[in-house]
């Protein structure tokens, strides 16, 4: 360091000698953090939580998050400099940093993976490599360029920059690096990385009348007189005034969106002239994408006695510092209680997180919250664009939004002082993330987060998960029951339609029992609406050749292709592979191909034939892809434009319709017999939830369940709405077979493209696990129902570990260490292995 620098600082001379280092979390699946050197200029404001741009590897540039700042220089490598710091105020707070590392540890993944899931991609800058001509290049005679090099240079004459893909296209080859390397060596081109800030604030143009006319009435009158002979301009003025309100004292705003004026048909050129003459002014302002137009309205109505009692019990639980499990049957009015609690939490100056499953979020609940909380409500949802997510993130960070209604990923938002977390539909399995890591459960994560913030937690559901209910019985949670329906709605009646006998008597019409058809017809005659539930999308799960029994399968997954009639394609629901429908059997050439099984599309199709007069709408993943498709379908149903709604389980949640008198369930048997220890729990929840859609108003609704075994014990419990009976029966099973909630489970998934290598790896791994943990705690390896996806074979190993007396932490460390040892073996190095802690 030079003498000059030391002298230039006249305070804390010693400080200038200190070099700071920052540990940076990089959003990639690598363990640990990476240490970078902090440039002198950043020392003052770089703190944990700041986003920084760093180079990682030879050329890649990432946005990372600083997790710690310290003075320990790394011993074995030279730390690179941080390229840039993107924040003067950290984007991520200390709570979140703690959350990230807890999640990585608990769910056995890397912090980088947590960060990747948690940070909206709008806050992550990506880099792309470009080349450009080197302006400093001076031609010398001894430099010659090859044909390929000249092609690139020619292309650079017309475009000032080329991406790697461009270069590859120009040359028509893929191996472009050696060529580029040469050109760089010769000094003819430069390679650079362009970093782009992806978040773009939304702008709009507004028009404001000049102050002098707004302030003084006579000036305005004079202006009117002036514009007398210019009708187009006068029109602009009138339209403007009508927008802001003619009465000067009542005005809340003086600006009008330019788009509003142009849409009202004013002349663009007249407006331009007015602006030029400084009568009007045009400004560009940055606006929020978040809709804040709806104002608050007063509370909807007083709580019932039962609700008030529940409310005070909930408060009791909060005071005891326990999460509260609110077991409230469908229609018991949980939402009113939530609203009351949210109000209290916000009034006391805290923030509230209201977690909902994806599909329940676009519904009436949000509209109600919006009515009560107005612009204080932020919504965080997968169909929101990235820019919208960034805005919510920032507003939560700044404390402008104090209530977030969101899906599981909203646990990552930068709450400063969380006061209350509500987890609605607590039992929903969609709170657990499946595929990319972190495979986290938003409910469990939220409970941990609440503990960190010292916030209250309320779990609400009509059908508690076994885990939560057991927690309540153990006294870990405070149980509050609300088992009476609020208002006039009453429990639906059930009717079981026996598929087997109808089939024997040849009375089935397609997949409809005569009972169901009959009830649908009656309901339609009474001008009531019908919901049909078939938990499988597409037309038909597979095609089969009548002559040789050949079934078209996916090339890269071990599943049959689903037939989609509308698009006339065969689709793989696991990898998305699409194929044309074969006219003849690929195996034997026969034309006798028929469909087997039923999807939502087939039900819709059959209904159109059976009931040609009815208006039918299908609701599943395929019809709700776009942002508003879901809402549109719901709206049409609510307005009575649709008579029958056919859908997958997405219509089982959070929807209240007044005029639905009949709900039909098609594949009860398949739900119950799903090969999984949770299938009974899921069946109970699903059927109860779907049934809740029937008979919300004055009449009792009817639920028709088509089944082959109407005497089933579980079905009887569902019909009686006997949650406690179900719980007692099921918990016994779980206890005697060492399943959750008594044991913790960790699923280990191994994938490899060679089946026998995979087998060997899985066997070897299981052997080491058994040696360390004992045979009883290790299950498998077993091939899952779908044994191959995207050309990778799959094996699963399950660990069952007692909750009491065993350190799960130690087990995780062991399991992880053994997996590293396994992957270190030469023959297994392309093995993919990941963990799923608390799988659902």
Point out which residues bind DNA (CB under 7 A).
Answer: 28-30, 34-37, 54-60, 74, 77, 79-80, 129, 173-175, 177-178, 826, 829-830
Q: Structure tokens of 184?
A: 């760089």
d(CA 486, CA 307): 9
Closest separation between CB of residue 820 and DNA, Å?
Answer: 13
| Angle between helix 111-118 and helix 94-106 axes, rounded to 10 deg | 120
Please write down the long-range contacts of 677-684, taking CB distance under 8 Å and 24 or more positions apart: 677/733, 677/734, 677/737, 677/739, 678/429, 678/840, 680/714, 680/726, 680/730, 680/733, 681/427, 681/465, 681/466, 681/730, 682/429, 683/714, 683/718, 684/463, 684/714, 684/717, 684/718, 684/723, 684/726, 684/730
Q: Which residue has the tokens 């779990």?
A: 459
Helix ranges (DSSP H) in 712-828: 713-720, 723-736, 755-773, 808-824
Nearest distance, CB of residue 184 and DNA, angstroms? 11
Q: Which helix (H) or strand (E) holds 451?
A: helix 442-453
Residue closer to DNA by CB (options 173, 216) is: 173
34 or 486, CB closer to DNA? 34
Task: Provide the minimum distance between the beta carbon of 52 and DNA in the complex, in angstroms, as a whole number.
Answer: 11
Residue 460 host element (H or E): strand 456-461
Q: How many CB atoms lie within 10 A of CB 376?
A: 20
Shorter beta-carbon distance to DNA: residue 116 or 233? 116
As a whole number of angstroms, the distance between CA 256 and CA 209 comes to: 9
At 707 the three-state DSSP class reads: strand
How many CB atoms are closer than 10 A to CB 811?
Answer: 19
Alpha-carbon distance 808 to 701, whole Å?
47
Nearer CB in complex with DNA: 65/717: 65
Closer residue to DNA, CB minimum distance, 152 or 326: 152
C-beta closer to DNA: residue 65 or 705:
65
Has 109 been labeled as part of a binding site? no
Count the Cβ atoms, other than its own, within 10 Å of residue 64. Answer: 26
Q: Which is nearer to DNA, 501 or 555 (CB)?
A: 555
Task: For 487-553, give the secondary structure using H, E and C.
Answer: CCCCCCEEEEEEHHHHHHCCCCECCECHHHHHHHHHHHHCCCEEEEECCCCCCECEEEECCCCCCCE
231-244 and 217-226 helices, crossing angle to 10°: 150
Residue 91 CB coordination number (10 Å): 19
Q: How far is CA 777 from CA 36, 763, 771, 806, 807, in A?
A: 42, 15, 10, 12, 14
Smallest distance from DNA to CB 116, Å = 9
Residue 757: CB minimum distance to DNA, A: 11
- Round to whole Å and give the CA distance between 321 and 478: 9
Least distance to DNA, CB of residue 652, Å: 35
The first and second tokens of residue 72, run together, are 């320990």
DSSP three-state, residue 664: strand
- Would you say 165 or 316 has its CB closer to DNA? 165
**Per the annotation, does 554 bind a ligand?**
yes
Q: Shortest distance, CB of residue 165 to DNA, whole angstroms?
A: 11
Bridge partner residues of 493 (DSSP): 702
CA 434/CA 117 separation, integer angstroms: 12
Is 588 assigned a ligand-binding role in the annotation? yes
Quick one: which H or E segment has residue 596?
strand 593-596
Provide the 8-state DSSP code for 432. B
Nearer to DNA, 164 or 674 (CB): 164
Quote the least distance from Cβ 795 to DNA, whole Å: 18
Tell me the H-state helices in 86-230.
94-106, 111-118, 147-158, 164-171, 177-185, 211-215, 217-226
Q: For residues 724 and 411, give the distance between their C-alpha atoms in angstroms, rounded to a whole number.
A: 31
Q: Please, which residues bridge with residue 196 across strands?
A: 126
Nearer Cβ to DNA (93/129): 129
Least distance from DNA to the Cβ atom of residue 131, Å: 12
Taking the complex as a whole, how short is the minimal distance between the CB of residue 173 and DNA, in angstroms? 4
Q: Is there a contact between 345 and 419 (Cβ–Cβ < 8 Å)?
A: yes
Nearer to DNA, 29 or 712 (CB): 29
Indicate the residue among 169 and 173 with the shorter CB distance to DNA. 173
530 within 8 A of 660, measured Cβ to Cβ: yes
Between residues 24 and 543, which has the closer beta carbon with respect to DNA?
24
Q: Please, what is the minimum distance in Å from the beta carbon of residue 74 to DNA?
A: 6
Sheet holding 189-196, edge to edge: 162-163, 126-133, 189-196
Cβ of residue 246: shortest distance to DNA, in angstroms?
58
User: Nearest distance from residue 35's CB to DNA, in Å?
Assistant: 4
Integer Cα distance of 468 and 731 in angstroms: 12
Residue 79 or residue 264: which is nearer to DNA going by CB? 79
Nearest approach, Cβ of residue 28 and DNA (Å): 5
Point out the annotated binding site for Zn(2+).
545, 548, 554, 557, 572, 575, 585, 588
Point out the annotated binding site.
545, 548, 554, 557, 572, 575, 585, 588
């Amino acid at each position: 360091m030079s003498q000059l620098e030391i002298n230039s600082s006249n305070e804390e001379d010693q400080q200038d000698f200190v070099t700071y280092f920052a540990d940076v979390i990089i959003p990639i699946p690598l363990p640990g953090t990476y240490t970078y050197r902090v440039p002198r200029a950043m020392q003052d404001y770089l703190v944990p939580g700041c986003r920084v741009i760093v180079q990682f590897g030879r050329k890649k540039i990432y946005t990372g998050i600083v997790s710690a700042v310290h003075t320990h220089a790394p011993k074995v490598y030279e730390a690179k400099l941080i390229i840039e710091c993107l924040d003067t105020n950290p984007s991520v707070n200390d709570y979140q940093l703690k959350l990230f590392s807890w999640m990585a540890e608990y769910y056995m993944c890397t912090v980088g993976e947590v960060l990747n899931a948690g940070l909206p991609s709008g806050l992550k800058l990506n880099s792309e490599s470009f080349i450009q001509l080197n302006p400093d290049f001076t031609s010398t005679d001894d430099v010659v360029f090859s044909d390929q090099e000249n092609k690139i240079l020619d292309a650079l004459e017309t475009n000032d920059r080329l991406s790697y893909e461009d270069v590859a296209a120009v040359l028509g080859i893929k191996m472009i690096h050696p060529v580029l390397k040469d050109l760089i060596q010769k000094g003819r081109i430069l390679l650079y990385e362009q970093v782009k800030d992806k978040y773009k604030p939304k702008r709009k143009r507004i028009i404001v009348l000049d102050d002098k006319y707004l302030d003084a009435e006579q000036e305005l009158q004079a202006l009117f007189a002036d514009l007398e002979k210019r009708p187009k301009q006068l029109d602009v003025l009138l339209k403007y005034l009508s927008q802001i309100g003619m009465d000067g004292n009542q005005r809340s705003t003086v600006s009008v969106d330019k788009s509003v004026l142009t849409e009202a048909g004013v002349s663009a050129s007249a407006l331009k002239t007015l602006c030029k003459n400084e009568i009007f002014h045009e400004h560009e302002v940055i606006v929020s994408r978040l809709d804040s137009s709806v104002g608050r309205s007063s509370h909807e109505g007083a709580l019932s006695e039962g609700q008030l009692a529940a409310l005070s019990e909930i408060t009791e639980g909060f005071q005891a510092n326990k999460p509260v499990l609110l077991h409230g049957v469908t229609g018991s009015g949980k939402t009113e209680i939530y609203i009351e609690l949210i109000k209290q939490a916000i009034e006391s100056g805290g923030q509230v997180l209201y977690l909902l499953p994806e599909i329940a979020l676009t519904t009436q609940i949000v509209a109600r919250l919006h009515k009560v909380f107005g612009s204080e409500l932020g919504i965080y949802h997968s169909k929101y664009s990235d820019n919208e997510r960034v805005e919510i993130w920032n507003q939560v960070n700044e404390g402008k939004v104090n209530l977030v209604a969101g899906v599981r990923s909203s646990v990552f938002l930068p709450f400063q002082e969380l006061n209350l977390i509500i987890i609605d539909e607590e039992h929903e399995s969609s709170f657990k993330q499946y595929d990319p890591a972190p495979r986290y459960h938003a409910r469990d994560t939220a409970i941990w987060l609440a503990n960190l913030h010292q916030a209250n937690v309320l779990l609400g559901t009509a059908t508690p998960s076994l885990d939560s209910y057991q927690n309540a019985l153990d006294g870990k949670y405070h149980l509050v029951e609300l088992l009476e329906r609020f208002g006039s709605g009453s429990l639906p009646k059930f009717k079981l339609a026996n598929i087997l006998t109808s089939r024997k008597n040849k009375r089935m019409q397609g997949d409809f029992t005569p009972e169901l058809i009959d009830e649908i017809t009656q309901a339609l005659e009474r001008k009531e609406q019908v919901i049909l539930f078939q938990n499988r999308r597409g037309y038909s799960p597979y095609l089969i050749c009548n002559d040789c029994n050949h079934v078209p399968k996916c090339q890269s997954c071990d599943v049959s292709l689903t037939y989609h009639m509308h698009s006339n394609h065969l689709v793989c629901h696991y990898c998305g592979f699409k194929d044309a429908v074969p006219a003849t059997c690929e195996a034997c050439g026969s034309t006798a191909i028929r469909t087997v099984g039923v999807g939502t599309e087939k039900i819709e199709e059959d209904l159109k034939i059976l009931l040609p007069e009815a208006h039918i709408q299908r609701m599943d993943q395929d019809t709700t892809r776009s942002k508003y498709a879901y809402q549109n379908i719901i709206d049409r149903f609510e307005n009575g434009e649709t008579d029958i709604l056919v859908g997958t389980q997405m219509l089982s949640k959070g929807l209240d319709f007044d005029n639905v008198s009949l709900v039909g369930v098609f594949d009860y048997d398949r739900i119950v017999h799903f090969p999984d220890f949770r299938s009974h729990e899921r069946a109970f929840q699903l059927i109860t939830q779907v049934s809740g859609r029937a008979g919300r108003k004055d009449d009792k609704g009817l639920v028709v369940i088509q089944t082959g075994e109407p005497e089933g014990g579980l079905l009887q419990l569902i019909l009686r709405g006997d949650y406690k009976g179900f719980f007692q029966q099921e918990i016994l099973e779980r206890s005697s077979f060492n399943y959750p909630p008594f044991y913790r489970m960790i699923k280990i998934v191994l994938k490899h493209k060679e089946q026998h290598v995979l087998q060997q790896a899985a066997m070897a791994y299981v052997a080491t696990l058994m040696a360390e943990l004992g045979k009883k705690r290790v299950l498998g390896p077993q091939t899952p129902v779908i044994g191959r996806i995207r050309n990778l074979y799959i094996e699963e190993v399950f660990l069952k570990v007692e909750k009491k007396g065993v350190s799960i932490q130690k087990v995780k460390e062991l399991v992880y260490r053994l997996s590293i040892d396994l992957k270190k073996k030469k023959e297994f190095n392309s093995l993919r292995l990941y963990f799923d802690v608390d799988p659902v």
